[in-house]
A and B are shown apart, each in its own frame.
Chain A
Amino acid sequence: MISLAVSIRDLSVQYGRRLVFQGVSFDLAAGQAAGVIGPNGSGKTTLLRTIAGCLTPRSGEIRINGLTPRDALGRTGVAYFAGDATLPGAVRAARWGSLGNGDIVTPDRRRLRALSRGTRQLLGLRTALGRQPLGLVVLDEPWEGLDPDAGRWLSTILETKRDRGAAVVLSSHRLHDLAGLCDVYLFLLPHQATVLRAHEIATVGPVTAEHLSNVFDRLRGGAMSLRATS
């Protein structure tokens, strides 16, 4: 069991002069999953990339097992995947698959750009999740483009990784995939970040997509009225 925790305190990130998000704080223990929900352009990808050590926050801090993300990368197995668009199209599928843990993920010799979007997405996920051992899993819109079978495979493998002690951070627009899988939900709206634990969203029974949708609509309504009055 890997004892790892993600701790984010008052995090803000900006590109040049544009503030992407601010005031994001949450904790995630080893063996827990967090779901990031928000409209397009709210900073979900940027937040996940900051957790993966690719971006430096403007203010606030991220600690992974007490270390900065870049230091933690070297000591913790991190699986990060930001979608099929990040795969280089000229590379052959079988060769890309060998970059995970060296195992053959697919025998397909076609170039990545010749594959369907879902096949690329699945290959990217399998390669990233192939690393062993994994202490932190950070996936950006992982269910995008996947067929139902592949979607179920992903949900199962994420539950397995989580139950084996990995901390999991996911973003998705597909609320029914996030519902029930996550212990913490971060609603990222322009100029507003709200963190709710699963038991705060659904006091009885598991969190459903409807619960998440209701909370999201309520928060979005609040944010819009806030903007209208300011």
Chain B
Amino acid sequence: MRDASYLFHFFRVAPPVPPLMIWTFVVTTAVAGVTVATDPRRAAGALAPILLLQLFTASSGFAVPARRGHYDLLLTRGGRRVHVALAHWAMSIAPGVASWLVVALVERVATGGASRALVASGTCAAFFMVSTVPWALTVALPRFAGGIGWLLVLVTSASTFSTGVFSDWTVASTRVDGLVWPAWAFVVYPAGAVGQTFTSAQSLAAAPGLAIAVCSMVLACRWAARADVPLEAAQ
């Protein structure tokens, strides 16, 4: 317990998210909140900028600051490295999660609890995707690398295939050949699922993406736990 409190204290002192990103979240949350309060039907659209911001905030990069020696105090304290990695992830995604919860609360208040688009299963799944995969992709890379890579895949996919598959995320059948495109669309553009309550076909289509997210987190934590941390200047 003491170790956990020290971990979070350390990442509060030396946060993985720069203050500019936090202020961007504050502004984006305010805009999204006003949008949802005035027109709750636009809740899904209002969350899109927060998802995009979360994509880049979660791409915080673990190895680069570690190799600059910023985390030496933490890494030589003796706690398990996997806990250090998980605390780094939690603190990286915390501003985005807080932002999401605030907007969801505004939606609930504005609709008197009638609309729950921002806590629907599709929204939760989309938020899980953008909070895990970019962090895992960026664990050994410089800041924003995961977010930039993801956007590159999205732009390439959108320019190669019909963009309709991303903007209107519907799953017509549970047959394997009918699930391939929706599954790909969910991986590349999870924001398409925001506001939707998953049907069984949608759950099947989202499953590979969620499995990728979990696997990428496991691999990233494993890497962070085992990797050497040389000092950049000493190599």
A positions within 8 Å CB-CB of B: 15, 45-46, 49, 52-56, 72-76, 78-83, 85-88, 90-91, 95-96, 98-99, 127-128, 131
Q: Does B79 touch A at the CB level, under 8 Å?
A: yes
Q: From residue A64, how far is it (CB to closest CB) to chain B in Å?
A: 11
Q: From residue B128, how far is it (CB to closest CB) to chain A in Å?
A: 29
Docked complex Cα distance between A49 and B78 (Å): 14
Chain A residues contacting B172 (CB-CB under 8 Å) are none
Q: State whether B78 touches A55 (Cβ < 8 A).
A: no
Docked complex Cα distance between A215 and B84 (Å): 43
Query: 8 smallest A-B Cβ distances: which pairs?
Result: A86-B69, A74-B78, A73-B78, A45-B234, A80-B76, A54-B229, A88-B70, A95-B13
Interface of chain B: mostly helix, strand, loop or mixed: loop
Q: State whether B65 touches A45 (Cβ < 8 A).
A: no
Q: Does B14 touch A at the CB level, under 8 Å?
A: yes
Q: From residue A115, how far is it (CB to closest CB) to chain B in Å?
A: 15
Chain A residues contacting B19 (CB-CB under 8 Å) are 90
Docked complex Cα distance between A83 and B72 (Å): 11
Q: State whether B10 touches A85 (Cβ < 8 A).
A: no
Docked complex Cα distance between A92 and B234 (Å): 26
Q: State whether A80 touches B72 (Cβ < 8 A).
A: yes
Chain B residues contacting A78 (CB-CB under 8 Å) are 76-78
Q: From residue A41, how far is it (CB to closest CB) to chain B in Å?
A: 9
Q: Does B9 touch A at the CB level, under 8 Å?
A: yes
Q: From residue A11, how far is it (CB to closest CB) to chain B in Å?
A: 14
Chain A residues contacting B69 (CB-CB under 8 Å) are 82-83, 85-87
Q: Does B27 touch A at the CB level, under 8 Å?
A: no
Docked complex Cα distance between A132 and B229 (Å): 24
Q: Which residue of B lies closest to A83 (CB)?
A: B69
Q: Which residue of A lies closest to B74 (CB)?
A: A99
Q: State whether A55 touches B228 (Cβ < 8 A).
A: yes
Docked complex Cα distance between A91 and B186 (Å): 38
Q: Which residue of B lies closest to A18 (CB)?
A: B235
Q: Pick the residue among A53, A72, A90, A127 that contacts B73 (CB under 8 A).
A: A127
Q: State whether A15 touches B235 (Cβ < 8 A).
A: yes
Say whether, besides A55-B228, A88-B14, A128 and B70 are in contact (CB < 8 Å).
no
Q: What are 14 contact pairs spanning A and B, CB under 8 A?
A: A15-B230, A45-B231, A46-B231, A49-B229, A54-B228, A54-B231, A72-B78, A78-B78, A80-B76, A85-B69, A88-B68, A91-B14, A95-B13, A99-B73
Q: From residue B46, how far is it (CB to closest CB) to chain A in Å?
A: 31
